[in-house]
Structure 1
């Protein structure tokens, strides 16, 4: 029984649900007519090229309705909206227009007015026109694409949904890959389109156009898992999309490049809760915990922007307070990139006092430390809103004695990236900010939620050998037993405490120990971390220790591998001054460290970069500095950022901490937080070993039992036949990739010794199945580096049969196939691979490309068990016979491969005299030699080919189909 297609299972259901929440369905034919794309007349490709991206008439009608003074002709409006750059910059500028900040000239008053495109006050869904259509085609002369479902507001395409069949492996990954291709081939389409989603009816991934990095793609969460209806009716709800367009899409500069972001569900919920609290006349406190790495900074900025613009705020004053000077410039840059005006930087106490005394209305950016000495009742307005970053650090005297006394009627909302601890400091934070909410938090996005959403990664730790650890008595007496270390939330405070820990520091900085630790780190990094492609932090106890570790690491690694980053002092010793760097050099070091393959690979730090620094490539932290509570959490959170590099098959599984002080040996004392949160934060690496052991003992035998003959040709036949079923392959690939990642992380380790042989055999099975059944691998990439080396050694010493035995496609192929000792299933796979390889080796022969396509279709039917093995083999052998016949006829006619391919295509289409038309078309190709690189020549060539065929075939739809088929296969043949 044939499987249902994606239209029936996904696409049509989405259209139904969309109509039920207020969207009007526009059939494909009607949508194309409204876009000026009429299939009933003229050249279809040219019509597609000339088609508008908009429903022009509707768009113009709404513009005239919303802008009574707008008198420009319709063509001027469409031209204006079609003139943006086909890039992320054009998309940013178009969003400004969608937010009604575009301009048009009003001659009677000789001034520009705002151009309204969308009415954002449309709570009744009657002011804007909400439409949805399907099979939305676009062609730019070189590439043509067709989007599954497009949502339009007032005739403007806003949201695209790519639908996939749930029966396909990694269906959503395929859908997103398709969106990536659309960006590359038809970027003009993504000037107005702002948001995209991909679904196979179970999962539902979303993101913003022009940002397709994996870590910026998110799963839309609904209470009912797999409920497509609930997801569509919540995400695609017109009022929600209006909110996204108006408020929750951001553009910001990062590393001197423009980036686009969308606020996720936890962020938008928090923003709205904070705004609601700010406008609540009865309650004036709130605490927001969003775990580090989940976008807390953008949440704060967007909250400040929306409070400032809200009419209920009545021209407010908003204080954005941060806890570190180095974050001020970054925050100001982000505010500027969002286009916010009325932003003042108060870098002195006197500036804050002056602004508040003069009743400044706008956003003030400053640090918490600038409040000391603020006068009482400096401003008693109630519409002053204070958003405080890292609120757990602000519960001391400065906030209570100065800020709250100076602004007695203000609303205070604290933001924190770590859970509030259970010490007296933590209780003070709840008393200051969380007193008006039953559970202490106005909104909470925990570490466990963040890991589940893949916003951040889990952390695993291991403890260094005992001889390197700080003696337990010294650690207790000089650090853990000191009351002032509890709840400590600032590294500067931590350093003051550690300065008194004389014995502890002397032990950590002993020359022999530093050398031993450096050697251990060098070996661990080169064996465990570098092969994975990631980078590391070496965290030393103080700046002199940093200098020592640099000198020691240089004995075991090339000097370029590591660099020191700390704040210099004029009174430093020559040893410390040797590592002083200016701001420009430090900036370059940071940027290089965040790039794959660039030096340095290890940064030696003690205070700088332990908070606020975001480098997803950072995987390992070598911790040689006692920390606890917030300082420890903030430091180790540097390694929990997701990272993906498709070019090098890298997908970061988690962060890793190697503890040289022994703090993780006393985790409950070191992290005074709720035990549920601790369990979500860090896990012992021993758990990964246990997981590997369990999988090897419980799952691996099922697959290893397939090997009965020392991996000879009979085993190969058996394995290929066993994994003919797609679901069986999918389950195996998933199980193996989980095992492989565990092996890559744990190796090298003596623990793996009993598992090397069975794991290697399992890897060889995976290699065989992967090569047999996959042409392009999306999620199941090639084997990782350590595993690959292991398998290569294994193949050289065992009797593993050839995985793929290519057969040359020629007159002797039939005989060669019959003489092969392999089973029928293996012959099928090898023959399909041979046809594909022959097509690749002769990529200028479009007939072979078409033949490879047919072979892939035969393979799909074979894998779906719609044809049996012998019938499949017969079909493939018929393809080879047919290929030999066409080569013979091609030679007899004196045709080259292109002319013959055109001839054959026309003959198959039923043309009575394909010979003469083929020569005409061949001549057209000769006259347009640059058709592969010039869009203009390609258009002219298609036109001439169409006219030549149309002269012999008067059915326009048939002509169009023949031309499309011809150029599609030619594009594949010539890799266009």
Structure 2
């Protein structure tokens, strides 16, 4: 039966599907000719310094779209070549792709917009797709699988992988990352990338290859019509389509190519849905995801619908709501149908205001105003300002009625559940009676008075109460946010239930509490509750508990934490207490100070610069502080993915509770340390989670999607240890002696079997880390230790195929060391010196042949690592790896693999003997033998010349010039003995390829 392969199963199919939707296929040969490749140049030089565009086509379309453009041919390409090969150059190129570049019209003596792509009439553009797009910058070479071009400009690259390859998508993304490092020139113009193996289809933008910003492309699946629905009612059909489900479905490569690579979608992404944003003085690039683009389209559609003036967008916390609002505002402002509108962006927090203004400015919008006061807002509206106005919700207080009666005023309101409180909604809607009001909320719309008001105000024109929805469950399924686990502290630390219920949870005025200020007012009257929470001895006990828990459970994972006190005074006391159990630099207090504060509170006042630095450092793994002590500030809007744990010692409810705990559900990954954050964690010292139904008045399905009791994890751990672990534990029959090690090596030769075990073990390991320390684990410790030791042995035996994951967590690592030590097995086996005695030692050594094979391979690799300038040993290690691969795939028996490796050792001994007789070092001998095998005359003289050339250029690995000079000398030394250029090039390529592999051993 035929097997799948990368080109047949994926690459060729993508090209065929792309042709079917309007892209013209250009063969590799034609593409290279149009890029100026020299077909007579050596293969290694052919891709060097060639054009990254189809120059002729780009110049033709440039002059067609810009009749007054009179610069010389190639002038624009010259500009592009001078752009920085980084995210800044890429941002500048995006401006050109959006037709915001400029050229000087000499006839009219003025600047004009430079049109590169016709978005208004897409049929005027030329859409092409090609394969094997090669480029060499003199240092590194790259060959991209599939590249899409518009008017001769590469805009999208697809990296294809074989459908039967393990971790195929991850490997594809890794290649995209390597292309960024080695040939960044490609990503000045290329804006989008995807990686696919015909099963998965992941996409992202260039210059942002972090895992949390790479997404799965999903297929839009219409929902089944409800029973009794009026199929013939167009209005009914419209509403059904608006709530279509977007699903991640494995496979369906054709549908995914046809939808993602469709010309309208690519044009839309290039024109509208790639954004740049500065955070902590660092430029970032993002692509809006499907739920975001869907919300933008729905928002613009509703705003331009003359028959409707309300809409509610409910996108869960952490799903990119701010960018969705910004893009909706920009689209509305630029929409011809809006007829020079006024767009109000209303936000509810000061820190968001600055960020919003920066992000809007980055879009290149000229008509942008900041209404920093009530008077300024009223003036702008009274003067009929046309453009985007950023303002705070409370600036609408006391607004005069009928201040502006235009209908093309669009009000986009962040955290819309707050705006119906008090009289703000009344002032807003009376002042702008004909405006369209579009509410955005990040928390589920609840059953309280405020929740009903939100639906009534914004959701009255949609059957289900919302224009567009992206729920908590959707977000977790996509990986946009993480699930959140909670655990209750010990009973003596929890607030007594009757006190919590009487003074906080059951208060009538707490019904529908909408913001943290109102919450604090309720807490001010909760006399017994606050006294209990701020008891001196209790604060000391909680601080001690937090310090121990952080040191034992959070710090070993590498993450950070919040400690939430009931008020500012509690935060100050917690800082003093925590400093008794942790180094002072571990924690910082962040709250808003006042001139009338007590001496205690003033002790922790921060100037703005210092606070900014603390917030910035907290977001970095390697910087202090590790714990922030807060009460109000940073509980909404603060985004630090390294935040994993929240120690909650403040009563909260409704939106404030959900927004606070959402701080810990942001995804995080760190490639260097192989960290992937699995979820968020809340340790509750109050007892709020014990009364979750009262604390959160939302639909239970929504809450269950994000908040899970730690008891569920214990049950999951118990089930895995009782149902899955015994299959692996049963492999150990002799108290973990060397025979058991042999059994493990033989059992896990099959890569699929290893992969399944590694996945199962890593899930069990993570559960153990989360739950620990806990008496619940006591009955499982011995078996878990054995399982961990099995993982360690198998991992050491088959290092090259271990899935990318972080090394053992601290507690597990310690347990494994104890467990393996107690069995008397110190690991897989000792390394052997590869010399004349090796064969005898191997034969006499106890243990199975499988263990001998693995140990011998590792010994050969170690020898090659220690002698990385000896091509003979590097080549030997490569052959040993091939033996290992054949052995693991059961193409070679254990005896055959061992015999092959022993022959390698014998051959190496013979090689060393001949090498010593000729007084050659490893490099000289390797060249000598290669020349003899290729029947090149005077091999000994030539090899000495090449060795001398290496001495002349000791920095050839770091210096491109030395590398070129060295390669030239080596080539000419061999070329002097033969006129067969192809054979000479092959010999030189083999030598340098092998030496480059030394760095990867």
Does the alignment reach a TM-score above 0.5? yes
**Structure 2 match to 1:28:** 28
Matched, 1:50 2:49: yes
Change (3 A) 1:649 1:246: same
Question: CA contact under 8 A between 1:460 and 1:654: conserved in structure 2?
Answer: yes
How far apart are 1:959 and its partner, in Å? 4.2
Mapped pair 1:798 → 2:823 = yes
Distance 1:579 1:603, change over 3 A: same
SS in 2 for 1:108: coil
Q: Alignment length, in residue pairs?
A: 973
Q: Cα offset for 1:729?
A: 0.5
Structure 2 residue 264 is matched with structure 1 residue 245: no
- Quote the Cα distance in structure 2 between the aligned partners of 1:674 and 1:745: 27
Structure 2: runs of 5 or more not aligned: 220-246
Alpha-carbon distance in structure 2 between the residues aligned to 1:834 and 1:122? 65
Please show how residues 664-683 of structure 1 align to structure 2 within 5 Å. Answer: 664-683=689-708
Q: 1:785 to 1:74 in 2, by over 3 A?
A: farther
1:144 maps to what in 2? 141
* C-alpha distance in 2 between matches for 1:399 and 1:343: 24
Question: What's the CA shift string for 1:396-419, capped at 9, x where partnerless?
Answer: 343432111111111110000001
Partner residue of 1:892 out of 908, 913, 917: 917
2:307 aligned to 282, 294, 300, which one?
Answer: 282
1:18-62 alpha-carbon deviations (Å, 9 max, x no partner): 222222222222222222223x31233333212111122222222
CA distances 1:854-907 after superposition (whole Å, capped 9, x unpaired): 222222222222222222222222322332333233333333222222233344
- Alignment counterpart, residue 850 of structure 1, candidates 875, 879, 889: 875
- Deviation string, structure 1 residues 662-695 (Cα, Å, up to 9, x no partner): 1111111111111110111200011111111110
Match of 2:240 in 1: none
1:19-168 equivalent positions in 2, closer than 5 A: 19-38=19-38, 40-123=39-122, 126-168=123-165
Greater Cα offset, 15-24 or 303-312: 15-24
Deviation at 1:329, TM superposition (A): 1.3
Say which SS state the counterpart of residue 814 (structure 1) adopts.
helix
Structure 1 residues 921 and 118 mapped into 2: Cα distance closer, same or farther (>3 Å)? Answer: farther
Q: Which deviates more from structure 2 when the two are superposed, residues 891-900 or residues 733-742?
A: 891-900
The whole-number CA distance in structure 1 between the counterparts of 2:34 and 2:970 is 28
Instruction: Tell me which of 613, 617, 626 is aligned to 1:588.
Output: 613
Aligned to 2:344: 319
Q: Are residues 232 and 949 of structure 1, via their aligned partners in 2, closer, same or farther at CA, if it must alter by over 3 Å?
A: farther
1:71-470 aligned at under 5 Å gives the runs 71-123=70-122, 126-222=123-219, 223=247, 224-470=249-495
For the pair 1:494 / 2:519, whether they are aligned, the reply is yes
| Deviation (angstroms), 1:956 | 4.9
Asked if the contact 1:128–1:153 (Cα under 8 Å) also holds between the matched residues in 2, the reply is: yes
In structure 1, which of residues 609, 613, 627 is the aligned counterpart of residue 634 of structure 2? 609
| Counterpart-to-counterpart distance in 1, 2:754 and 2:1000 | 30
For structure 1, list consecutive stretches of 5 or more residues without a partner in the other structure: none
Runs of 4+ more than 6 Å apart: none
CA contact (8 A) 2:346 2:414 kept: yes
Tell me if the contact between 1:173 and 1:779 (Cα under 8 Å) persists in the aligned partners: no
Q: Note the alpha carbon deviations across 1:473-496, whole angstroms, 9 max, x for none.
A: 111111111122122110001111
Within-5 A mapping of 1:473-484: 473-484=498-509
Q: Please, which moves more after superposition, 953-962 or 814-823?
A: 953-962
The question of whether the paired residues in 2 share the 8 Å contact of 1:88 and 1:258 is answered with yes
Residues 147 and 161 in structure 1, CA contact (< 8 A), matched pair in contact too: yes
Match of 1:619 in 2: 644
Partners of 2:127 and 2:134 lie apart in 1 by 19
2:764 to 739, 746, 758: 739
How far has the Cα of 1:951 moved from its partner? 5.1
Q: Structure 2 matches for 1:569-968, cutoff 5 A? A: 569-775=594-800, 777-800=802-825, 802-909=827-934, 911=936, 914-950=939-975, 952=977, 954=979, 956-968=981-993
Moved more, 498-507 or 58-67: 58-67
**For 1:121 and 1:773, how far apart are their aligned partners in 2?**
56
Shift of residue 92, structure 1, vs aligned partner: 0.8
**2:630, 2:999 → 1: CA distance?**
52
Please tell me whether the aligned partners of residues 37 and 50 of structure 1 are also in contact (alpha carbons under 8 angstroms): no
Measured on the aligned residues, the alpha-carbon RMSD in Å equals 1.9
Q: 1:956 to 1:386 in 2, by over 3 A?
A: farther
Q: Provide closer, same or farther for how the CA distance between residues 33 and 688 of structure 1 changes in structure 2, counting only shifts above 3 A.
A: same
Alignment match, 2:225: none
SS in 1 for 2:438: strand
Distance 1:444 1:907, change over 3 A: farther
CA distance in 2: counterparts of 1:370 and 1:534, whole angstroms: 39
**TM-aligned CA deviation for residue 122 of structure 1:** 4.2
Q: CA deviation at 1:910?
A: 5.1
Indicate if the aligned counterparts of 1:733 and 1:780 stay in contact, CA closer than 8 A: no
Aligned counterparts of 1:86 and 1:590: Cα–Cα separation in 2:
30
TM-score by length of 2: 0.94
Q: How much does 1:802 deviate?
A: 3.5
> Residues 53 and 391 of structure 1: is their aligned pair in 2 closer, same or farther, counting only changes over 3 Å?
same
Give the deviation of 1:845 after TM superposition.
0.8
Give deviations 1:491-522, integer Å, cap 9, x for gaps: 00111111111111111112222222222222
What is the CA–CA distance in structure 1 between the aligned matches of 2:837 and 2:255, rounded to whole Å? 59
CA–CA separation in structure 1 for the residues paired with 2:988 and 2:135: 17
Shift, 1:182, TM fit? 1.5
Instruction: Summarize the Cα distance change of 1:281–1:20 in structure 2 as closer, same or farther, 3 Å threshold.
Output: same
CA contact (8 A) 1:537 1:620 kept: yes
Cα contact 2:298–2:467 (8 A) shared by 1:
yes
**8 Å contact 2:212–2:480 — kept in the other structure?**
yes
Contact 1:94–1:192 (8 Å) recurs in 2:
yes
Which 10-residue stretch deviates more, 517-526 or 746-755? 517-526
1:11 shift after superposition: 1.9
* Range moving further from structure 2, 901-910 or 840-849: 901-910
- SS at 1:614 equivalent: coil
Contact 1:486 1:628 in 2 (8 A): no
Give secondary structure in 2 for the equivalent of 1:866.
coil
Return the alpha-carbon distance in structure 2 between the equivalents of residues 943 and 36 of structure 1. 24
**Aligned pair in 2 of structure 1 residues 11, 873: CA closer, same or farther (>3 Å)?**
farther
Deviation string for 1:797-855 (max 9, x for gaps)?
A: 22225413322222222222222222122222112111111110111112211221222
8 Å contact from structure 2 (residues 410, 435) kept in 1: yes
Q: Give the corresponding residue for 2:239.
A: none
Report the Cα distance in structure 2 between the residues aligned to 1:967 and 1:69, rounded to whole angstroms: 51
Indicate conservation of the 8 Å contact 2:874/2:997, yes or no: yes
Q: 1:908 to 1:355 in 2, by over 3 A?
A: farther
SS in structure 2 at match of 1:162: strand
CA–CA separation in structure 2 for the residues paired with 1:906 and 1:13: 43
Question: 2:561·2:644 contact (CA, 8 Å) conserved in 1?
Answer: yes
Residue 734 of structure 1 aligns to a residue in which SS? helix
- CA 1:864 to 1:918, structure 2 compared with 1: closer, same or farther past 3 Å? same
Equivalent-residue separation in structure 2 for 1:803 and 1:789 (angstroms): 18
Contact kept? 1:712, 1:801, Cα under 8 Å:
no
